[in-house]
Amino acid sequence: MNPDGRKEIGVGFTSWSIERIRTGAKTATRRMPRLDKINKHPNEWTYLGSHSKKAIFQHEDATIIRVNLTASPGDRIWVREAWKIASFMPDDPIEVQFKDGVCIAERDLPDDSGYEEWWERMAVQSTDELIKMEWPHKSLDDMYVWKPGKSPLKFRPSIHLPRRCSRIDLICTGIKVEWLKDITEEQARAEGCDPSDYCEHADGSPVYRNAFFKVWERIYGIDNPKAVERNPWVFAVEFELEEDRSE
C-alpha cells in the first residue's frame, strides 16, 4: 500500500503497448492472470459475478473457484517494461534506459530496505558485462562512458524492473470479467489497435476488433495457435494515465 492509500500493482506491457499508452491511444488492457485452470476449458465455466475483489466462476460439475481480480478501481498500476542500466556512478542515483531510448533516474521510495544491496548488485553485474564485451571507452578517472541513450548493456526482462525505476503510473478506472470475443469495436479501439495495420472490411472500412485479435494472436499465439478461437475468460481493465516520467 502506498502512502497515499492506493494499492500498487506492477503489470508488464510490451513496447508496442507503452508507445500507445504514452500517446493516449491505449486506455485498456485484457489479461488472464490466475485464470489458467479455467481457461484450459473456458466454455465449461460460467462467471457468476465478483465479491470482495474476487471473480467467482462455476464449473459444469458445480465446482466453484474464486480468483483475485487483476486490479480494482482506484488502484495504481505501475508499468513494468524492458530496461537496462544507463548509468551507475558512485554516490549518484542509477539511471535506466528503455527500448525507446528514454533514460530516467531512479526515484526515492519510502521503503529503502535492500537498496544498497541492489545498487551494488547492478554495478557489479554491469561492470562484469562491460569487461566481457571489452568495452573500450573510459574516462580519465577510469569510468566507463557512452553517449546518453546509447547504453551498450543488455536489456533486462520487464518482470525485473524495480518500482523505483518505473516511469509510467496508471490508475485503474474499471474492470470487467468477460469472454475475449465479447470485446466491442469501441473497446478494441481503447486497446490501442490500429486497424489499418492489420485488416479491413470488404467495403474498405477498418475493423478494430479484428485488429485486436491479430495483436492477441501475435502475443499469445506462439504457444497457443488457437489463442483467439478458444475464446478465453479475461479481465478487461480500463485505466487512465497518472504520470509519465519520460517527460
Q: What is the CATH number of the domain that holds 202?
A: 2.30.130.30
Residue 87 CA to residue 151 CA, distance in Å, equals: 8
Same domain, 97 and 137: yes
Q: What is the band of 5 on the pLDDT scale with cuts at 50, 70, 90?
A: confident
Q: 1 in a domain, yes or no?
A: no
Whether residue 199 sits in one domain with residue 149: no
Q: Let me know whether 154 and 178 are in one domain.
A: no
Residue 171 sits in the same domain as residue 154:
no
Cell of 123: 554495478
Alpha-carbon distance of 21 to 75, in angstroms, equals 17
Residue type, 182: D
Which domain covers residue 13, as residue numbers? 8-77+167-244
2 in any annotated domain: no
Q: Which of 133, 161, 189 is the last residue of a domain?
A: 161
Show Cβ contacts of residue 228 under 8 Å, excluding neighbours closer than 6 positions. 180, 181, 213, 216, 217, 221
The grid coordinates listed for 100 are 525507446
Could you give the 3-state DSSP secondary structure of residue 78? strand
CA distances (Å), origin 90, targets 24, 74, 143: 37, 38, 10
E strand spans, 60-167 = 64-68, 76-80, 83-87, 95-98, 103-105
Picking from 136, 161, 186, the residue at the C-terminal end of a domain is 161
Cα–Cα distance, 168 to 233 (Å, whole number):
27
Residues 12-61: pLDDT tens digits?
A: 999 999 999 999 999 999 999 999 999 999 999 999 999 999 999 999 99
Average pLDDT over residues 89-112: 86
**Of 129 and 222, the one with more pLDDT:** 129
Residues 157, 93 share a domain: yes
Is 228 found in the same domain as 171?
yes
Q: What is the pTM of this model?
A: 0.89
Is the pLDDT at 140 greater than 60? The verdict is: no
Are 93 and 49 found together in one domain? no
pLDDT band at 195 (very low <50, low <70, confident <90, very high): confident
* C-alpha closest to that of 15 among 122, 168, 152, 137: 168
In this structure, the answer to whether residues 178 and 62 fall within a common structural domain is yes
Tell me the one-letter amino acid at 173: T
Picking from 1, 29, 43, the residue whose alpha carbon sits closest to that of residue 173 is: 29
- With contact defined as beta carbons under 8 Å apart, do 43 and 231 qualify? yes
Note whether 157 and 187 are same-domain residues: no
Both 172 and 156 in a single domain?
no
Name which of 236, 105, 106, 79 is nearest 169 in CA terms: 79
Specify whether the backbone of 34 is left (phi greater than 0), alpha (psi in -120 to 50) or beta. Answer: left
Candidate ranges 149-163, 188-202, 220-234; pick with highest mean pLDDT: 149-163
Torsion of CA 125, 126, 131, 134, to 10 degrees: 150
Task: Answer with the one of 120, 143, 161 that is the final residue of a domain.
Answer: 161
- Answer whether residue 3 is part of any domain: no
Say whether both 133 and 12 belong to one domain: no
Domain count, the chain: 2
